Amino acid sequence: MTIATWLPTYRQIIKDRGYNPQTIRNRGAVIKFIETSLGPRPLAAIKPHEITTLLKTCSPHKAVRVLGELRDVFTEAIANNEAEGNPASLVKPPRAPGIRKRLTLEIWQDMLLMASLGQQRWVIAMLLLGLHTGQRRADLAKMRFDDVVDGRLRVEQQKKAGKPTGARLAIPLSIRLECTGMTLGEVIEFCERIAKRGDTLLRQASGKPIEMSSLSARFHELIVAVCGEGAYQQYEWPSLHEVRSLAARTYMHEGMPAETVQTLLGHKAAEMTAIYLDDRGLSAKEWKTVEVAAPEAA
């Protein structure tokens, strides 16, 4: 059994797990890379050093995804009696620690200002919704006006993380950010005015929904315009997903309890929220004030 002859069965296993379509597409691209690189090789003949060599041809983050997929490929092959060992489990994970830089509030504000000068008003709404809700791109794209129920915006997160459904949130429209001077309800009211009436909060001038890829593309164009072409290295550019971290850090800075931030992000574990709250060195050069109680008078 070669890699190429096993992968059709593996692809079906992936589909049967109930992932959302975007996850299937993302993993499919990695599987295709594995098929192109190792397809003719027998499963039993693959050695750890071959995988290590292959990973060196990838960007750091792609290498992490390829290794994770290969481990799963061999795990399923073993479960189906098509392989006896998992060489990928013996490969040390490549280092890819937080290469993407965090987005600062100052840059976000500059992006908002520049977006306000453009004709695509949904870009302004995208930035405001992202910061006020802390949700992922897929969730921003599918937010609808009829998701507002009893004074709250209901969000069923697209990312399921192995669960039957994604986290279900009901975010109060009264939630407010001092840095924007707006409540979530006011952001949604702004969304009503950006284009012809449609089902989704973010939509084209015609009222039609916007593709997720367009959200990412416009975000990147905007941050490049604000910061300049040479502001970051190739893999350092903050993406739209970084607004999620910025939202968490901003709410914390404005006094929201960590437990509430965790709920807003839809995280089951506080450890995951802590990753988003890590500013990856943005505040490393700041002076930290040591607060001490004043001595009691004698």
Dihedrals phi, psi of 154, to nearest 5 degrees:
-85, 130
pLDDT of residue 256: 97
Residue 203, domain CATH: 1.10.443.10
Q: Average pLDDT, whole number, for the chain? A: 93
How many angstroms separate the CA atoms of 70 and 60, rounded?
A: 15
DSSP 184-223: HHHHHHHHHHSSS--SBSSB-TTS-B--HHHHHHHHHHHH
Strand partners of residue 200: 144
| Contact yes or no for 188/155 (Cβ under 8 A) | no
Q: Are residues 258 and 131 in the same domain?
A: yes
Confidence (pLDDT) at 55: 94
Is the domain of 74 the same as that of 152?
no
Q: For the segment 192-235, what is each residue's pLDDT rounded down to a tens digit?
A: 999 999 999 999 999 999 999 999 999 999 999 999 999 998 77
Let me know if residue 144 belongs to a domain: yes
Six-digit token string for 292: 């001490």
pLDDT tens per residue across span 128-146: 999 999 999 999 999 999 9
Q: Is residue 74 part of a domain?
A: yes
Question: Per-residue pLDDT averaged across 231-253, rounded?
Answer: 94
The secondary element (H helix, E strand) that includes residue 171 is strand 168-172
Distance CA 41, CA 105 (A): 49
What DSSP string describes 134-169? ---HHHHHH-BGGGEETTEEEEE-S--TTSSS--EE
What is the extent of the structural domain holding 152? 105-277
| Residues pairing with 155 in the sheet | 169
Is the same domain home to 79 and 110? no
| CATH number of the domain within which 68 lies | 1.10.150.130
Widest Cα–Cα separation across the chain: 84
Whether 297 is covered by a domain: the verdict is no
Under DSSP, is residue 90 helix (H, G, I), strand (E, B) or coil? helix
- The answer to whether 115 touches 107, Cβ cutoff 8 Å, is no
Structure tokens at 200: 């989704």
Q: Which two tokens stand for residue 58?
A: 């990838």
Q: Are residues 84 and 113 in the same domain?
A: no
If asked whether residues 58 and 128 sit together in one domain, one would say no
Name which residue leads in pLDDT, 245 or 233.
Answer: 245
Q: Give pTM, 2 decimals.
A: 0.74
Q: What are phi and psi of 239, to 5 degrees?
A: -105, 175
Q: Is the pLDDT of residue 98 over 60?
A: no
